[in-house]
Amino acid sequence: MGALHAGHLSLVTRSVRENDRTIASVFVNPTQFGPTEDFSRYPRPFARDRRMLIDAGVDALFAPPPAVMYPEGFETTVTVAGLTDTLCGAPSSRGPAHFAGVATVVAKLFGIVRPDRAYFGLKDFQQVRVIEQMTADLNLGVRVVRCPTVREGDGLAMSSRNAYLSVEDRALAPRLHVSLQQGVKLLLFKRNMSPKTVTGAVRNALASTKRIEIEYVELVHPISLQALKVARRPALLAAAVRIGKTRLIDNVLVT
């Protein structure tokens, strides 16, 4: 979706290293935004994105207008059940329509580009799982490559939405990652806990300031993304918060 940062560029750099040709898409996809979300104000620094992608070595840039992706008469939606009703897909979060928008646009991009490999960042772990499952289920013949979350020096996961943060909120934002680490410590060193013990530790750590509003903290299985009944590995510990108006997500995979 453009508004590139070092996380995006790590995907491009890896693709350039591992493939003969690399194509990047820059497309702020309207169908994955809800009516109350930030589609219209989402940052679109296209000239800067273009320059960064050229400098990173892409062979082609695909930046279509919405009417090319969704012409009149467009009617098709790809849904991935099961994976999309939890975490960011819960009705109290972005909802499953968000992931229908993601799955559909990625299916289209795969159809247009026919890549051998496609690189996605694990900051959006659920998105990666949805794309992996769709790609397998529809036999799209693309290898989905998981790339590690790139973080700022203080642990904040890189995100285009970090640019929304005020100076004060930016100072609070690393607490999301720090709080998740509290839960990870429990997972690594204690046994036979309830998942609530783990998510509760994260919630407590986040509760140190009223400015951070918790949307969810969940401990789920890293394949099905369904809530674990017992806190054990492998697990994905994932959280979404709002700091002011800015929504941030992060996760840690514990294998």
Which of the residues are catalytic?
8
Contact window for a copy of itself (CB under 8 A) among 137-145, 181-189, 206-214, 235-243? 137-145
Of 11, 26, 53, 80, the one binding a copy of itself (CB under 8 A) is 80
What secondary structure letter does DSSP report for 157? Answer: B
Of 60, 77, 171, 213, the one binding a copy of itself (CB under 8 A) is 77
Tokens read off for 41:
């104000």
Least distance in angstroms from the C-beta of 76 to a copy of itself: 4
Residue 70 CB coordination number (10 Å): 18
- Assign residue 15 a region (left: φ > 0; alpha: ψ between -120 and 50; beta: otherwise): alpha
Residue 52 interacting with a copy of itself (CB under 8 A): no
Strand-pairing partners, residue 117, are 143
Nearest to 89 by CA among 252, 2, 218: 218
Of 3, 23, 58, 78, the one binding a copy of itself (CB under 8 A) is 78
Nearest to 4 by CA among 61, 48, 66, 55: 48
Q: How many residues bind a copy of itself (CB under 8 A)?
A: 27
Residue 185: φ, ψ to 5°? -55, -45
Least distance in angstroms from the C-beta of 240 to a copy of itself: 22
Q: Is the peptide bond before 234 cis (omega within 30 degrees of 0)?
A: yes
Based on CB atoms, which residue is closest to a copy of itself, 54 or 227? Answer: 227
Residue 223 interacting with a copy of itself (CB under 8 A): yes
Of 133, 159, 179, 251, the one binding a copy of itself (CB under 8 A) is 133
Burial 47-69 (b: 16+ CB within 10 A, else e): eebbebbeebebeeeebeeeeeb
Tokens read off for 66:
């919405």
Residue 156 CB coordination number (10 Å): 20
Contact window for a copy of itself (CB under 8 A) among 55-63, 67-75, 171-179, 193-201? 67-75
Per-residue interface string for the shown chain with a copy of itself, residues 109-128, x marking contact by CB under 8 A: --xx-x--------------
Residue 163 interacting with a copy of itself (CB under 8 A): no
* Contacting residues toward a copy of itself, per CB under 8 A: 73-83, 103-104, 107-108, 111-112, 114, 133-134, 137-141, 223-224
